[in-house]
Amino acid sequence: MIDGTVLFFLISILVLAAFVGFEVISKVPTMLHTPLMSATNAIHGVIIAGAIIVTAMVFSNGTPSWWLQTLAVVGVALGAINVVGGFAVTERMLQMFKKKSGPTK
Amino acid sequence: MTELPIWFDIAQIVAIALFILGLRYLSSPATARFGNRLAMVGMGVALIAFIAETHGIGWWAIALGAIIGSAIGLVFALRVKMTAMPQMVALFNGAGGAAALCISVIEIGAGQPPIPWLIIVSLVLSAIIGALSASGSIIAFLKLQEVMTGRPITYPGQQIVNALVLLCIVGLGGWMIAMQGDVPIGAVIGLFAAALALGVLFVLPIGGADMPVVISLLNSFTGVAVAIAGFELSHEILIVAGTIVGASGTLLTIMMGKAMNRPLSNVLFGAFGSGGGGEAAAASGGPQNVRSASADDVATMLAFASKVMIVPGYGMAVAQAQHSVKALADQLEARGVEVKYAIHPVAGRMPGHMNVLLAEANVPYPSLLDMDDANPEFPTTDVALIIGANDVTNPAARNVTSSPIYGMPILDVDKAHNVIVLKRSMRSGFAGIDNPLYELPNTAMLFGDAKASVDGLVSAVKGL
């Protein structure tokens, strides 16, 4: 299944992604920290993909027990809350940063 | 595990690129919305590929969960008041952590021992971190929502209890890994219950003022849980997205801590060391010699100033005074007064909290100044109008070495010619300490609810 080479490959990805994470955020001004936190929060909602895979997995050998079915639905729902809520809240915050040509000075 | 088609891999790469670009664009106010949209598209691309890859197996469970979850997420996100945003982020973050926990539980429930090493290790770790993040986020939510007290909650023997719970997690987790998942169901439940309990115990002793740091930390925890789940399920996109969030969340947490001059260890364990020192200090707030002013005095002072710096704080958020503040600024600007806003990085309950609120009231963002840009302007400012901010303006941070906030970068409001402080009462701020600013000769206090006070100022300025 997963041999040492694949594991090494996955760990390399992890290390590189960590650097990208540090680089990307180090340039964000303070005023955008809350929207940024909210956006990263939405991005880790990609966990819903994991919930989708395991749901398909438990259903692949016929109908699973009721509690596995329940957990599968709950897992997908929680992931969806994270993704949809996260992006929607971020969008709402950012809507307020629209540049206004107000009477400045 | 079956071979995945090439289009699936391409979709994942596109999604990852969009996530990274999206975060990149989020670093400027002008392109931030575009950035968020890019990330959304990336998520869409990734999820369509994943759903297609299921070949319709278990479709109704996926559809049902997606519909329920999306509805809940959307309703909460669109209904919540802007002041409650930090709590919302905490709650959504908790949902992500709980999802990671669910995935691990399903894998254990459906898997046949012995579960392969890589999978059992990542499964256990992802579940523990996910559970901790989920329950911790809920406590953070309850504290910010003021359902429970924002004060640090401490009790005797707290550290011993925490240590025992941690020991329980390490023991049960280690056992589960060693047996490759071949353990009684009670051990599995015990492990996850202990992880959930640790999340609660971890956040309970942290005060409301430090919640942004905690939410940011929990956000990065969830990222790490997602990354580890990526090893468990052998999907790169989870590893990459989770790790990026984990790394950026950690950095954001450190940056917030720095702005408050509170090392992370202090935020997380401060309540233990001082034995509830926060409360003791709060009680010591002695009487202060302050000058209070009427709305008319203040209005005159503002209207005839040439430069006014507004310093908003949590009090403005609580009173929902941002629209009134904007109305006041409009009045003053109509009279030719230059109005700017000085935003301390930790004003409010999250970095950027004030910016979001003021933006809601249509304050143009170029007039919002960061601390570094605002401080050089105070010596030429006629009036610094402090609306519900306290600790971030406390000059004690500069020179009183014994002060708990000594060394914290503050807004130099005391350098302005006049300082007006809008405040509900003489109660001390989150840090629970006196603010010598209030006793300075050029400081005047205007007591009352921030919104009522600002509304009063608006009509007073109009009447001049």
ipTM of the complex: 0.90
Only one residue has tokens 């935020």, namely B267
In Å, how far is A5's CA from the nearest CA of chain B?
A: 13
Does residue A6 belong to any structural domain of this protein? no
Does B261 have pLDDT greater than 80? no
* B-interface mutation test, from A8, A46, A52, most B Cβ less than 10 A away: A46
Angle at B165 between CA B164 and CA B171, to 5 degrees: 85
Does residue A11 belong to any structural domain of this protein? no
Positions in chain A short of pLDDT 50:
100-105
Does residue A1 belong to any structural domain of this protein? no
Residue B25 CB neighbours (<10 A): 18
Give CA separation, A75 vs A68, B69, B99, B355, B446, in Å. 10, 9, 5, 34, 51
| Highest averaged pLDDT of the listed ranges B31-40, B146-155, B277-286, B312-321 | B31-40
CA contacts within 13 A on the Cβ side of B48: 11
Active site positions of B, annotated = 391
Does B344 have pLDDT greater than 80? yes
Q: How far is B394 from B410, CA to CA, in rounded Å?
A: 7
Residue B238 to residue A46, Cβ atoms within 8 A: yes
Q: How confident is the model at residue B22 (pLDDT cuts 50, 70, 90)?
A: very high
Q: How far is A66 from A82, CA to CA, in rounded Å?
A: 24
Does residue A39 belong to any structural domain of this protein? yes
Residue A31 to residue B69, Cβ atoms within 8 A: no
Does B277 have pLDDT greater than 60? no
In Å, how far is A105's CA from the nearest CA of chain B?
A: 6
Mean pLDDT lowest among A24-33, B108-117, B220-229, B322-331: A24-33
The pLDDT of residue B286 is 46
Give CA separation, B223 vs A49, A75, B210, B334, in Å. 14, 16, 20, 48
Chain B residue numbers touching A76 (CB-CB < 8 A): 61-62, 64-66, 69, 99
Residue in A closest to B212 by C-alpha: A34
Does residue A63 belong to any structural domain of this protein? yes
In Å, how far is B333's CA from the nearest CA of chain A?
A: 7
The pLDDT of residue B39 is 95
Residue B416, SS3 per DSSP: coil
The pLDDT of residue B279 is 38
Does B150 have pLDDT greater than 50? yes
- Across chain A, mean pLDDT equals 84
Q: How confident is the model at residue B403 (pLDDT cuts 50, 70, 90)?
A: confident
CA contacts within 13 A on the Cβ side of B109: 21
Q: How confident is the model at residue B283 (pLDDT cuts 50, 70, 90)?
A: very low
Does B351 have pLDDT greater than 80? no
Does B431 have pLDDT greater than 70? no
Higher pLDDT, B308 or B27: B308
The pLDDT of residue B212 is 80
Higher pLDDT, B60 or B463: B60
DSSP state of B292: B
* A-interface mutation test, from B18, B41, B62, most A Cβ less than 10 A away: B62
Does residue A102 belong to any structural domain of this protein? no
Q: Give CA torsion, residues B70, B73, B75, B81, to 10 deg.
A: -160
DSSP state of B31: T
In Å, how far is B180's CA from the nearest CA of chain A?
A: 16
- The amino acid at residue B339 is V
DSSP state of B371: H
The pLDDT of residue B435 is 82
Closest to A44 (Cα-Cα) out of B76, B441, B99, B6: B99
Does residue A8 belong to any structural domain of this protein? no
* Count: domains in chain A: 1
Mean pLDDT lowest among B167-171, B349-353, B358-362: B349-353
Residue B26 to residue A39, Cβ atoms within 8 A: yes
Does residue A83 belong to any structural domain of this protein? yes
State the residue range of the domain holding A48. 33-97
Residue A40 to residue B249, Cβ atoms within 8 A: yes
Chain B residue numbers touching A72 (CB-CB < 8 A): 58, 61-62, 65, 102, 106
